[in-house]
Amino acid sequence: VPYAALELVDQELNRLQQAGVIQPVNYSARAAPIVVIRKPNGTIRICADFSTGLNAALDEYQYPLPVPEDLFAKLNGGTCFAKIDFSDAYLQVEVDDDSRELLTINTYRGLFQYTRLPFGIKTAPAIFQQIMDTMLTGIP
């Protein structure tokens, strides 16, 4: 983590911990480094780099992701629209207790374990899309 970003990272780790998204742990057999992504509004998103460990070991989770062109075609002729903005979308999805040890991150403040679906897991987009499709079933 660049020294210049430490204050923002510290604030984000505090926010995630206070929200119950991460919890400190003393030990883990594996831990992923963090990647800091700066958002257009100046805030940051902390992602875990699971690319060399967990993601390689995960089975594929196949679920169809929508194609933007298909979505626009379905909206054609519509007269009433709604917009849903999920803040920290994946972080709203709880993770099973047995999976949490696999979701440990290594930070300059120590080890933290995700209790929610983190950014960086290769299966996250499909899992989240399936949840959204289930929740929005029957809504035209």
The C-alpha atoms of residue 109 and residue 119 are separated, in whole angstroms, by 19
CATH for 17: 3.10.10.10
Whether 52 has a pLDDT exceeding 80, the answer reads: no
Residue 140 confidence class, pLDDT cut points 50, 70, 90: low
Can you give the pLDDT at residue 64?
87
Measured in residues, the chain has a length of 140
Mean pLDDT of the chain: 91
- DSSP secondary structure string for all residues of 98-136: HHHGGGEEEETTEEEEESB--TT-TTHHHHHHHHHHHHT
The C-alpha atoms of residue 38 and residue 115 are separated, in whole angstroms, by 23
Query: 102 vs 50, 55, 58, 114, CA distance in Å?
Result: 10, 10, 11, 9
When pLDDT is averaged across residues 57-62 and rounded to a whole number, the result is: 89
When pLDDT is averaged across residues 17-37 and rounded to a whole number, the result is: 96
Whether 3 has a pLDDT exceeding 90, the answer reads: no
Residue 140 in domain: no
Residue 39 in domain: yes
pTM for this entry: 0.84
Residue 118 in domain: yes
Residue 21, domain extent: 3-135
Residue 24 in domain: yes
The residues, any chain, with a CB within 8 Å of residue 30's CB and separated by 6 or more, are 53, 54, 102, 104
3-state secondary structure of 74: helix
In the chain, the number of structural domains is 1
Residue 48 confidence class, pLDDT cut points 50, 70, 90: very high
Q: In this structure, what token pair is assigned to residue 108?
A: 């300059």
Note whether 112 and 23 are within 8 A (CB).
yes
Residue 80 in domain: yes
Can you give the pLDDT at residue 42?
87
Q: In this structure, what token pair is assigned to residue 131?
A: 């949840």
Residue 121 confidence class, pLDDT cut points 50, 70, 90: very high
**What proportion of the chain, given as a percentage, has pLDDT over 90?**
61
Q: In which element (H, E) is residue 75 found?
A: helix 68-75
Residue 25 in domain: yes
Residue type, 8: L
Can you give the pLDDT at residue 8?
94
When pLDDT is averaged across residues 114-126 and rounded to a whole number, the result is: 94
Note whether 33 and 112 are within 8 A (CB).
no
Residue 86 in domain: yes
- Residue-wise pLDDT for 64-117, tens only, equals 888 889 888 888 888 888 887 787 899 999 999 999 999 999 999 999 999 999
